[in-house]
Amino acid sequence: MEWMLMPYRRYADFSGRSRRMEYWMFRLFEFSVLIAGAIVISVLAGGTGQVAGDTAGGVMGSIGMLALVVFVLGSFIPGLAVTVRRLHDTGKSGWMLLLSFIPIIGPILMLIFLFTDGDRSANEYGPDPKENGIDTEVFR
């Protein structure tokens, strides 16, 4: 759980490096919350409001949808920051994130960059986060 929430602790920190574990666990957490939220919204909105004139399902669905939108908006900056730090770990500039706007090829290149192991030594963006002696406490 620590890896999933670490990008929220480093909310708008675009400097430094992030391991693959931090990036992918954060994305897994986001995905899990979105799926769980969609299920809860569909149950609340679909399970109630079936009776003519009953608007409870619409209200509950709207509240759930609002909560999900707040989560997505609150996760945007940490997601952007952890992606930039992940690119830094592979020795690339955060501006390489703009490649994802190129149709078809861009997202494939970004996936390759995000799956690639980071530099094994210090690079221009900081020390190797996997290096012995560097605890995850440094990256909070």
In this predicted model, what pLDDT tens digit does every residue of 95-112 receive, in sequence order?
999 999 999 999 999 999
pLDDT, position 55: 60
Give the residue, 135 or 67, on which the prediction is more confident.
67
The backbone torsions φ and ψ at residue 92, rounded to the nearest 5 degrees and listed phi first, read: -110, 155
In this predicted model, what pLDDT tens digit does every residue of 60-86 receive, in sequence order?
778 888 999 999 999 999 999 999 999
pLDDT band at 48 (very low <50, low <70, confident <90, very high): low
Measuring CA to CA, which residue among 23, 1, 5 is closest to residue 140?
A: 5
pLDDT, position 42: 83
Q: Categorise residue 9: left if φ over 0, alpha if ψ from -120 to 50, beta otherwise.
A: alpha
Query: How far apart are alpha carbons 140 and 124 in whole angstroms?
Result: 20
Range of the domain at 121: 2-139
